[in-house]
Structure 1
């Protein structure tokens, strides 16, 4: 992907940062995004060719500001990595009506706005990559991550339909589903579960790892490597897929 322009949403920490690093190492020009511009710029400074921008995608005009920045600094966007902060943890019976709307807005509506801006260029040039960072909850619901599962499942359906429509134009659309990857968000979820169960945090993490066939959490760099493959030329025949990176944890094929 040498010289391709990639935008990675919510890429100052966690899985987004891991994907930005992997795309940068593969030769892409990367736009690092986050609500804090100083942090985005600091992350970008560690990549071979990157620029950081502070933007709240949920704010009015936020998506336009991001795409305008990318086009001004590097040119039209070839690779769009959709990502966003996950909704709060909680079970379905604890979910409020307003939170349902917020989950869909943050995980579907915002991404629809971004794609409306970048897809015309991708389709016009006959090459493009759309990759969404999802969750294994898309294929196997996680009881205490109800809002995340609802929002990301809706996004998965949206992307599957989109993939069918843009495939003739050389644009691939996929979702990458992480399992237990050692990020700050996963550490927070582990701490919340430990608090609810009354178990020590170390015991909670050990139990979570034991439930994974690989018997460990994944490393962010491992996730980033799969993302880079899906965004590159060798994956041109992979589209409309939900690819899991979860150490075998999901109980479905």
Structure 2
């Protein structure tokens, strides 16, 4: 199937990490020119090099999405290399595990800036060009916690849910401009983030890591953690011309983990 994104410009944040890197590689494999953006410049370079080594087109950029002052100049650099952004994948880091009650006000502000305000500002910056060209894809990766809140991820559950309301509203505003906006929810995908959360749970509950992983995978209908490429491939489809009638949706990529309808 031709996904119709050959030579489209894709900007992927957090692309030095597991999920972001997988998304970048899947888009590049379908012919997109990928901007590999990450606060960790070395990690971004590693992803870009792997894409180029496989025959794809990529440019690594050290980019802190929380710093809104960087947006104009960075987008100018993107345009100079590959042209204006056609596909934006908003993918930010998450806060550490915490209960929702009793968190300092400055912690809420810090992660709101990182996880919500930055995404909105970045999207607002690329939307005018998408509207002018009558084509665009806004894909925001959040967490299964927006559907079924995850214990001890209080800040994440709360702030990521704000993006669901934002994306749904945005989809209605830009649909006639040929732009789609969707939320994607990773279940338990085999990345360093999942390893970290499993380790924290094992430590907190005084259990072995193997015990925690066995319990965790046992609750997933397919019986395993997802592979990052499976997540990246699903997002590549949502970014495609073939997915032009999918918008305003919250799409679970979770192996059936979330029990609610």
TM-score range, shorter chain: over 0.9
Superposition deviation, residue 145 in structure 1: 1.1
Q: Is 2:135 aligned against 1:104? A: no
Q: Shift of the alpha carbon at 1:115?
A: 1.2
1:32 maps to what in 2? Answer: 36
Q: Does 1:7 align with 2:11?
A: yes
Q: Aligned equivalents of 2:242 and 2:256: distance in 1?
A: 24
2:163 is the alignment partner of 1:159: no
Structure 1: gaps spanning 5 or more residues: none
TM-score by length of 1: 0.97
Q: 2:196 aligns with which of 184, 188, 205?
A: 188
- Cα deviation code 1:115-171 (max 9, x no counterpart): 121101111111100000111111111121111111110011111100100001010
- Aligned residue number for residue 22 of structure 2: 18
Separation (CA, whole Å) in 2 of partners of 1:33 and 1:80: 11
Distance 2:158 2:79 in 1: 32
Q: Which residue of 1 aligns with 2:48?
A: 44
CA distance in 2, matches of 1:43, 1:175: 23
**Separation of aligned partners in 1, 2:127 and 2:135:** 10
Q: Does the residue aligned with 1:93 lie in a helix, a strand or coil? A: coil
Distance 2:135 2:252 in 1: 24
Q: CA deviation at 1:60?
A: 5.1
Runs of 4+ with >6 A deviation: none
TM-score after normalising by structure 2:
0.94
Provide the residue aligned with 1:123 in structure 2.
131
**CA deviation profile, 1:173-216 (whole Å, cap 9, x unmatched):** 00110010010011000000000111100110100110111111
Which SS does the other structure have where 2:180 is aligned? Answer: strand
Match of 1:235 among 239, 243, 248: 243
Number of aligned residues: 253
Is structure 2 residue 177 aligned with structure 1 residue 169?
Answer: yes
Aligned to 1:76: 84
SS of the equivalent of 1:248 reads coil
CA contact (8 A) 2:26 2:229 kept: yes
Could you say what the CA RMSD is over the residues aligned between the two structures, in angstroms?
A: 1.1
Whether 1:203 and 2:207 are equivalent positions in the alignment is: no
Tell me if the contact between 1:135 and 1:177 (Cα under 8 Å) persists in the aligned partners.
yes
Deviations 1:192-247 (A, max 9, x none): 00001111001101001101111111000110111001000111000000100011
1:61 match: secondary structure: helix
CA distance, structure 2, for counterparts of residue 191 and residue 131 of structure 1: 29
Distance in 2 of aligned mates of 1:145 and 1:186: 13
Q: Distance in 2 between matches of 1:207 and 1:66?
A: 44
